[in-house]
Each structure stands twice: as C-alpha cells, then as structure tokens.
Structure 1
Amino acid sequence: MSSKIEHYPGRFKFVILLLALVVGVIVWMLFDRHVLNNTFLKEQGDLRSVRYMPIPAHRGMITDRNGRYLAVSTPVISLWGNPKELINIPEEWPKLATALEQDIGVLSDRIKNNKDKEFIYLARGLDPDKGESILKQKIIGVYSLEEYRRFYPAGDSVSQVIGFTDIDDKGREGIELAYNNWLTGVPGRREVLKDRRGHLIKDIQVIRPAKPGKDIQLSIDLRLQYLASRELHNAIEEYGAKSASLVLIDVKTGEILAMANQPTYNPNNRAALKPEEIRNRALLDAFEPGSTVKPFSMSAALATGRWKPTDTVDVRGGKLRIGHYTISDVSRATILDLTGVLKKSSNIGMSKIAFDIGAEPIYDVMKKVGFGDSTGLGFPGEGAGFLPVHRKWGAAETATLSYGYGISVTPTQLAHAYATLANNGVSLPLSLIKRNDVPNGTQAIDPEVSKTVRRMLQSVVEDEGGVFRARVSGYLIAGKSGTARKTIVNKGYGENHYRAFFAGMAPASNPRLVMVVVIDDPTKVGYFGGLLAAPVFSKVMSETLRMMNIVPDNLLTADGSIARTTN
C-alpha cells in the first residue's frame, strides 16, 4: 500500500512568518532598550555597580576662652557586616569574633538572627589601626564606615558643662545638647564603583563635599576650672560632704569663667557612669540660700530711705516669737547697726527691718536681681528656683523671705545676683559663650545703695570678728556666708543636714570677680558657711586674682600701713 504525502505550503509560510515576527520583536526590543530608551538598563546597571557613599562630617570643636580644646572629634572606623554573606561562612566566625574581641556565641546568634538582612553593626568607633587590621583579614561580608568619635581632653573637670555625645555623635547633655544643631556638620556624598560583593573598585567623584560643624568658644577658663574642681574635690574629702559646687563670674562682662561641681565623671569613659554625676548642680539644683540673701534685703531697706547704715536694731534675747514661729540668732548680740546685722548674720535684726519696710520692696529687689527666673543661658534643664509671691504678706512669710528661707535659688542665680551688686547695681545677662562685646545691662539696684552694701559686706569679711577664712592676702574681699538646713522629701527639715555657702567679690574696692561656693551636707568638721565654704572661696579666689593679673588693693607699705589702690 502506497502512502500519500500531502503538502501544506500555507502552513509552512505562516510558521516562517511567525518566527520572523518574533525575531523582529526581539530585535526591536533590544534596539529600543539599548539605543532609544536605555535609561532603565543604565539605572539597573548602576544599582549593581555605582554606589553613593556618605562622607562623614566632623562635629565642631568646643574650646575654652583661650583656645584650649574641651571637645574634639577624632576619626574612627566602624565595622559592619552583611549577614546574607556571613551566614555562608560559619568557619570564619571564630576568627572574626577573636578580631572583634567578642564572644563567639553572641556573634553567631546575631548573624543567625539577622540572616535575612544585609546590614548589622559589628563594632563602632574603633581605632583606625585596629579597624584596618581586621579588614586586612579579608573576611567575606565584613565592611567599614568612616565615622568620628568625640574626645574630651579636659576630662572630668568640665564634663558637667560640656556634656557628651552618643554613639551616633549627637549631643545628649550640656553644651553638646544645647548647641547640637550648631556643632553638627552636614555629611557629604561621593559616587563610587563597587563589585557585586560591595568591594570598592573606583572612586568616581565627590557629589557634595562634607561641611564640618561650627566651633564654639566658651567663656570658661580651663585653668580656673581645673583649680575650682580640685579645691571642691579636696573640700568634699575633708568635710565628708555629699557634693559641692562653685560658680565664678566676670563682673564686667557677665561671662562665667568657671562652673565646677563635685562629684563629677569622665566623659571619655562612661562605663560606670551614675545618673547623678551627670547633673550640673550649679545650674540645676535649687536650694534655700539662707543668709546669703540678706544683702539684697538690706538693699531694699536702704532704697526705701527709711534706713541708714548707722541705724540700729535691738536684737537682745536672741529669740523673736511670731505666732507659733520662733526666730533665733546664733550670736548673743544686743544692739546692732545695719553692718552689724550682716556681720552677725542676725535673723532677728533682718526680720525687724523687713517688718518695718514690708515684704514688697524686698521681693522687688530679689526679682530684679534674677531670683525666680532662669538666667537665660539656654542650658538643658536649667532651674529657675522659686520666689514666692503673696497677695498679702504675713509676718512669718516676710521674715523668712528677708533671711533666705521659703525661697530657692541655684548657685548660678546667686552668683548672678552678687555680680549685679558688685557692678554698681547693673544686671548683665550671663553667658557661657565668650563675648567680644559687653551687652547692655539693666539697673536693678540703685548705684549708691549697691556701693553702700558692698562696703558693709567688706566689713563682714575684713573687720575684726569677720569671716576671716574668706580673706585673700593683698586684696580686699566683700562677701557673706550662709548656712541653711536641708529639707528631706516628705520629712521637712532634716536633723543634722545642712548646706554651707559663701558668696563674695574681689577686689572689694572695684569688684572684678564674684564667686559662690556651696558645700552640700557636710558630715565632718562642722556645717557653717564661714567655716567650710569660705576657705574654698579664699583658695580659689587667691589663685584666680593672680592668674588674671588683677592689681591688689590691700598691700602693706614699708612702714606697715595699708596702701589701697583701685583698678
């Protein structure tokens, strides 16, 4: 049987035409993708080869008023890993853990737990030499980033003012936080070529250069800061105190030259940092200032015209009963003039003067010198203290206001008030930033009244029976000591818990410097401000006056008389 072969020329032509059409479409698509509309392929190619890497920008420097470094940024290397690559080479994990000085179990768990991710930090802030030595081992999936780490050359002496940055170089405390936007730089961007493993092949170009942060020059003098910090540390050790603070102000400019606290911390090693050590007590902690506010109550009395320095007050008996409240004096004085009221620190004398003039004039003076208001330094968490105001002032409220109870101030507020008194009653805004020009101040106290009160405060220190521990050889000192009982939370005033203060100015003939010293909760030697805080004032002020080359105003001549000069 013969087979019959049939031919279908139409089908054959259709198949050939279909194949030609498919080939034509493919050719057209290739032409379109590679010639006419090649953007997509270029982008996809770039995603697999061209990368844009950030260029780190270092943080601005912080210096003291003389240009000494307080905070600088140093280059470091941070290592990161690609878990998708590392998961395939478990045999390399022990070597990597050893190089990173990490526990192999912890590192293994991190890689396994992040095996679907492409980025984890392995170590941050490494010394460049150490980072490079790890990279030289060429472990697949280990890469590096350039970063900066903050370093604080002054260590713990100024740490509570400067603060610190976190692992991402962002300010977290102090000046670092307050001026974070100013100090932070703007990272740059550069275009590079990498292979599929992420290795750098070629640095193509800088798209945007990094812009470093701006520098800040503080008003702090590092020499004086070291001195203040050292003497406060010695005082805590000697007196068994809980803490201590010191604020030093340039009267003529309003600049803060030193702001020290103890205990403190090392910002370069915060492994064992305690939260209470971070706090800048000089700006954040408010307390009842006790007798250190009596000069302002006295200023109010003199400003009314009802009282003169030669007027006297009867303080016999040592106790004054006001309802259920008893005011007591430590001294056994009888009749005191106004200087004597300050010199003997008589609560009874100050209260009787306050009863005569009323609380309102005293409140007005305290408000004008800055009590109850922030100093405007912009420091994070700065305390404003508390200045009470009553629609009607009772006798007890009037008395306690006049001698420093029932109100609260920070050491910086108290120093600011004394600087106003020292500056002929002109209140200058304070600054932690070095000033080139002195701002305009406001007249808070009458100039003649402030001069009169300064002479009275000079007698408090320099006269026989005065606060002799605050004296400085070759200089006249004006100031006032104070002692206040501490309040315990939910318990009122604590038994045997005190704060000791001394606030003073020098040279008294033409004040240039004001200093406040606070000793908190001493447990040895005693607790009076003239006994504990005054010696610290004397030591720090003595060295400060000499470092700043301020002309003495209390020198002895060859015949033994006193040659007093003015600056």
Structure 2
Amino acid sequence: MLNFSREKLMFGLILFGFGLLIAKAFYVQVVQSSFLESEANKRQIRTLEVAAPRGQILDRHGELLALSTPVASVWVDPRTLVNHPQAIEELARVLNLSQQQLTRRIQANPNRRFLYIERSILPDLAKQIEALRLPGVNIQAEFKRYYPTADIAAHILGYTNIDDIGQDGVELIYENWLKGQPGRQQIIKDLEGRVVKFVNNLADAQPGQALQLSIDKDIQFFVHRALKEVMTKHQARGASAVILDAKTGEILALVNQPGYNPNNRNQLQGEAIRNRAISELIEPGSTIKPFVVAKALDLGLIQADEVINTSPGYIRVQGHMISDAVNYGRLTIGEVIQKSSNVATANIVRRMSAEQQWRFYSDLGFSQDLGLFLPGEQLGRLRHHREWQLIDQVSSSFGYGFSTNVMQLAQAYLVFANQGNLPPVSLIKRDAPPEMKSVLSAQAVEQTLQMMETVTHQGGTGTEARIEGYRVAGKTGTVLKAGVGGYQEATYRAMFVGLVPASRPDMVMAIMVDEPSRGVYGGGSVAAPVFQEVMRHALRLRNVDPDGAL
C-alpha cells in the first residue's frame, strides 16, 4: 500500500514537472515572445549606416574635376578583440602593421566599442579582411574624393577631410549640395560582433548632386603651366592669374602658384593652399589708369584728341614727387595710356572730384564682395573720399593708396568688354546672360579700348602681349610692394590685364607675379608674356576668329 502511494506521488510529481515546463514554454513562446524577441534584437540587430558618394564636380564642358571613389575603413571593438590575441596578430599581418603596436592600442582602450585601425584602404584589401571573419573586426564602406586634374584646379576645387567633408574651395561652399545622404540597413551580429545576416534595407543611400562649374579644364591647364614657367624663369615668390568670359563674367580659369595636389594630404598646409587670386591684397598700380581716362572722358573732363604737357617729367603734390620714367613732354590721351604716364594721369584725375573718383572705383567692384563665397576672400581697402587728401586722390589714379585682389581687378576690366556695363563674376556655368550694372558710357569705353590697344603696339609698355592675328588691348602695371615702415626697395609686383580680341572681346585675363627676382620686374616683361602664351591657346580652344592685328 505504501509502495503504491509512493509510485502515485512520484508519477504526480513528474506530471507536475511536465506541466510546469509546458506552462513555462507557453509563457515564453506565446505570452513573452514579442518582448523577448525585442530584447534579443536589441542585443543582435544593429542599424548600419551606408555611405553615399559626393556629387561629381564638372567643368563647363562636362569634364570631371572631382569624383568619389569607393574605399573602406577598418574599425574594431576593443572590448571584444582584446580577448582574441590571435585575431590581433592576423589583422596586423594583413594590414602590414606592427603586431606589438596594434596590441598596445587595443589594450589601451579595453572598454571602448569603436576604434579606427586603418582609414581609406582599397576595396580588395577590405574584402580580404572581411573574409577572415575576425571577432571584433569590422569593415566600413566609405568614399574618398579624387581629383583627376591634381594640382591644376586645386585652389578652385579645394579638398575634403578624411571623413569626406568639404574643407576649402568649392568643396566647402557647396558642401550641402555635393554631400550625399547615407543609407541605413538592419543587420544581425553574433556575440563576437561579426555580421551574420542582412535583415532589412531601411533607406537607400542617395548620392550628392553634381555641380557644373564655369571653369574650362583645358584653359586652366595652360594657365597653370604658364605660371609654373614664369615662377621658375623669374624666381618669383608667387603668382596668380584669372581668365573671365568677357560677356558673361564666368570664371574660365583661376590659378595660383605655389600650389598643391589635393590628392596628397601631406600637402594640405601652409602657403600652398592659399587662394592668392582672392586672398592676397595688391595695389593695382598702372593697371588702374585706363579707368581714370575712361571716367574723365565719360564726364566730359577731357577730349579724346586732347594733348597734355607732362614736362619736365615730374610734378609735386602736397610735397610729394610724382614722376615718370622719362620726360615724355606733350602726350595725347592715347599716349598717356600707352606710355603709362603718372604725371599726365595725375593732371587728369584732378579735374574730377574725389567723390566722383571714389564712387566710380566702388562701382567697379573695388573693396566689394565678389559674391563667390570662396574661403579666404579679402575685400581690399578703399578709404572713403572724405578721408582723402589731394595726394590720396592723385596716388590712387595710378594705383597706389588702395588695395584690391586679382579677381576684383579682372572683373573691373569687364566694363571694357560690355559697353560700360559690369556683369558679376561666377564660378557656376551660366544658362542665361547675367544682369549688369551700368558704370560708364559706351562711347567712353570704345575710345579708351582703342587707346589700350596701343599699349601692345610699338612704343607701348605691353608689346610682349601681342598675339599674331588678333588685336589685343590691355595695360601693364609694376608696383613697389608695401612693407613695415613703407615701400620695400627693389621689391615689385608685375601685372598685366588684357582683353582679346579687342574688336569684340571674348576673354579678359589678369596676371600678377609677386617678387620676380632675376633683375627683370616690369609688368610688360614678366606678366605680359604670360598673357600671350595662355591666350593663343585659349583663343584656339574657344574657336575665336582672328580680328586682324594692327
């Protein structure tokens, strides 16, 4: 009887145990299934960000200037990897790293869950590492910016950082346009942090938008080559050049020397990355004289056939000596520009009021924002006319006493290509003609442009800018550099600004060479040949018909 009771008790206990197991299974698999699945997912399902490429940057003809290429980065979970010395050894071997140094890096961060080991590796190497399935080792697909033109267009394009974010130039100012929108994927990871399954695509990666610039890649190349040559030939400290479409204000080329290759991160520092064409302030020197003559003609203060006596080759203004290279004697207005007479220009400018001259310079864009938003732009300094004395007005008529940059100077010369109207400059290719500001009368511009042609004729200061078959109008400039305590002796900037063809201007080019140091320093000898060298190629590239050199 006792044995029977024991058997019934044991059987009952077994049934009760099975009942508990069934109840527990029901509770876990039915009642708590959603909760437990959610908790498991929190520990295993991860959201992975999928990199998106930046938009391409193109020149005006659709040629590539910048694109994104796929690369990858290796990152680790130190908390996991620190317990797998064999995986550390294998990773160091594949990446060609010191095993000891890699071990020390990981051991120094035992509680971190994310640590970059190598950035921007080639996709093939990334696949090789991924195939090893090392615990705590992860591959992150990324993109790296590549610039096919290397240093040729560096100061326009700028560069991105290691995370592919724009840091300078077009890359920076159009960051929001160029950057892509990352995608998102759900994945499952095992306990060692390895991806074991793709779950769901939450959002596709959206590439950035393409950007078409006004730059002509081929013209940019010829400017780049010419500036490197002039730097070597004259052992100059620096040089800048800008070419504008004479009718639209589009920037066809912008080059500075010294330069840098944005594909090489070791070069992204120092003076090389400065965009001198907009960031270096210069006194424009004699390149400003055609504007003074044009404004005086416009106001009726001089006549095109007037003769001005410059004897004895110098004048005094408020105790300051204003002189010419030689005593030119009597000069026509055209010869004032051709010979670049300071004395004659000083006599002309004193016929207009300081306010008229100051307002005209402002209308030309001097000391005004270019509207390009490029980093480092310096607006220049043009003191208000109320602060001027007579010597300030006179000295500014031949380009001293106020500062500008090469781009502003090039833009100002656009008035000579547009019957006295001034278009804004642009780095983006234009689909329609821009709105222009009226600055001078068409008659005054036409008269002055004819005078500027004589600068490149025999007896002018810019004969080395002549191009066979084309009429060239322009102006040379040679200025002493200002330093601490005044102007530096025998330290010059050589300049030339020109338009071609003069009969129907297609392009404007401004060149500045800083501190040529081999005994030749004049704008006509140093900068004008750069104009000639570049423009003969640019005219061919743009299929501009000759207009017959005089």
The answer to whether the aligner puts 1:522 opposite 2:516 as a matched pair is: yes
Q: Tell me by how many angstroms 1:462 deviates.
A: 2.6
The answer to whether the aligner puts 1:348 opposite 2:350 as a matched pair is: no
Q: Which residue of 1 aligns with 2:242?
A: 247
Structure 1 counterpart SS, 2:512: strand
The answer to whether the aligner puts 1:291 opposite 2:279 as a matched pair is: no
The answer to whether the aligner puts 1:534 opposite 2:514 as a matched pair is: no
Distance across 2 between alignment mates of 1:52 and 1:220:
41
TM-score, normalized by length of structure 2?
A: 0.93
Q: Which amino acid aligns with 1:542?
A: R
Q: Specify which of 91, 96, 103 is matched with residue 96 of structure 1.
A: 91
Q: Which residue of 2 aligns with 1:11?
A: none
Distance across 1 between alignment mates of 2:378 and 2:48:
43
- CA RMSD in angstroms comes to 2.1
Q: Tell me by how many angstroms 1:87 deviates.
A: 1.1
Q: Specify which of 187, 202, 209 is matched with residue 204 of structure 2.
A: 209
The answer to whether the aligner puts 1:71 opposite 2:66 as a matched pair is: yes
Q: Which residue of 2 aligns with 1:5?
A: none
Q: Specify which of 354, 357, 382 is matched with residue 362 of structure 1.
A: 357
What is the CA deviation profile of residues 514-533 of structure 1, one whole-angstrom value per residue up to 9, with x for unaligned ones?
A: 00011001101411101100
Change (3 A) 1:37 1:89: closer
Structure 2 counterpart SS, 1:48: helix
Whether contact under 8 Å (1:331, 1:346) holds in the other structure is: no
Whether contact under 8 Å (2:135, 2:194) holds in the other structure is: no
Q: Tell me by how many angstroms 1:449 deviates.
A: 1.0
Distance across 2 between alignment mates of 1:270 and 1:172:
12
Q: Which residue of 1 aligns with 2:9?
A: none
Distance across 2 between alignment mates of 1:125 and 1:150:
10
The answer to whether the aligner puts 1:417 opposite 2:402 as a matched pair is: no
The answer to whether the aligner puts 1:375 opposite 2:370 as a matched pair is: yes
Q: Which residue of 2 aligns with 1:550?
A: 544
Number of matched residues? 536
Distance across 2 between alignment mates of 1:31 and 1:325:
104
Q: Which amino acid aligns with 2:341?
A: S
Q: Specify which of 506, 521, 527 is matched with residue 512 of structure 1.
A: 506
What is the CA deviation profile of residues 465-504 of structure 1, one whole-angstrom value per residue up to 9, with x for unaligned ones?
A: 452101000000000000111112x332112111000000
Whether contact under 8 Å (2:234, 2:518) holds in the other structure is: yes
The answer to whether the aligner puts 1:486 opposite 2:453 as a matched pair is: no
Structure 2 counterpart SS, 1:78: strand
**Match runs of 1:138-537 below 5 Å:** 138-391=133-386, 393-488=388-483, 490-537=484-531
Structure 2 counterpart SS, 1:131: helix
TM-score, normalized by length of structure 1?
A: 0.90
The answer to whether the aligner puts 1:134 opposite 2:129 as a matched pair is: yes
Whether contact under 8 Å (1:51, 1:194) holds in the other structure is: yes
Distance across 1 between alignment mates of 2:88 and 2:485:
59
What is the CA deviation profile of residues 401-445 of structure 1, one whole-angstrom value per residue up to 9, with x for unaligned ones?
A: 111111111111000000122211111111111111112211111
Q: Specify which of 113, 121, 133 is matched with residue 118 of structure 1.
A: 113
Q: Tell me by how many angstroms 1:317 deviates.
A: 2.0
Distance across 2 between alignment mates of 1:472 and 1:152:
33
Q: Which amino acid aligns with 1:548?
A: R
Q: Which moved more, 1:264-273 or 1:545-554?
A: 264-273
Distance across 1 between alignment mates of 2:216 and 2:254:
10
Structure 2 counterpart SS, 1:158: helix
Q: Tell me by how many angstroms 1:29 deviates.
A: 8.3
Q: Tell me by how many angstroms 1:50 deviates.
A: 2.0
Q: Which moved more, 1:29-38 or 1:42-51?
A: 29-38
Q: Tell me by how many angstroms 1:201 deviates.
A: 2.4
Change (3 A) 1:189 1:93: closer
Q: Which amino acid aligns with 1:161?
A: I
Distance across 1 between alignment mates of 2:28 and 2:373:
60
What is the CA deviation profile of residues 312-347 of structure 1, one whole-angstrom value per residue up to 9, with x for unaligned ones?
A: 222112222223321121132011121111111111
Distance across 2 between alignment mates of 1:44 and 1:331:
92
Whether contact under 8 Å (2:422, 2:437) holds in the other structure is: yes
Whether contact under 8 Å (2:340, 2:461) holds in the other structure is: no
Change (3 A) 1:105 1:399: farther
Distance across 2 between alignment mates of 1:37 and 1:100:
46
Q: Which amino acid aligns with 1:48?
A: R
Q: Which moved more, 1:354-363 or 1:276-285?
A: 354-363
Q: Tell me by how many angstroms 1:395 deviates.
A: 1.4
Q: Which residue of 1 aligns with 2:57?
A: 62
Distance across 2 between alignment mates of 1:357 and 1:188:
64
Q: Which amino acid aligns with 2:438?
A: Q
Change (3 A) 1:92 1:554: same
Distance across 2 between alignment mates of 1:286 and 1:73:
34
Structure 1 counterpart SS, 2:351: helix
Q: Which amino acid aligns with 1:492?
A: G
Q: Which amino acid aligns with 2:432?
A: D
Whether contact under 8 Å (1:471, 1:477) holds in the other structure is: yes
Structure 2 portions without partners, runs of 5+: 1-11
Q: Tell me by how many angstroms 1:91 deviates.
A: 4.2
Whether contact under 8 Å (1:297, 1:365) holds in the other structure is: no
Q: Which moved more, 1:138-147 or 1:113-122?
A: 138-147
Change (3 A) 1:466 1:242: closer
Q: Which amino acid aligns with 1:62?
A: I
Q: Which amino acid aligns with 2:269?
A: K
Q: Tell me by how many angstroms 1:36 deviates.
A: 4.4
Whether contact under 8 Å (1:296, 1:362) holds in the other structure is: no
Identity of aligned residues (%): 39
Whether contact under 8 Å (1:289, 1:409) holds in the other structure is: yes
Whether contact under 8 Å (2:496, 2:512) holds in the other structure is: yes
What is the CA deviation profile of residues 164-205 of structure 1, one whole-angstrom value per residue up to 9, with x for unaligned ones?
A: 000111000100001001001111111222322222222222
Whether contact under 8 Å (1:476, 1:507) holds in the other structure is: yes
Q: Which amino acid aligns with 1:317?
A: P
Q: Tell me by how many angstroms 1:32 deviates.
A: 5.9
Structure 1 counterpart SS, 2:187: strand
Whether contact under 8 Å (1:359, 1:401) holds in the other structure is: no
Q: Tell me by how many angstroms 1:30 deviates.
A: 7.2
Q: Tell me by how many angstroms 1:33 deviates.
A: 6.0
Q: Which moved more, 1:53-62 or 1:104-113?
A: 104-113
Whether contact under 8 Å (2:134, 2:194) holds in the other structure is: no
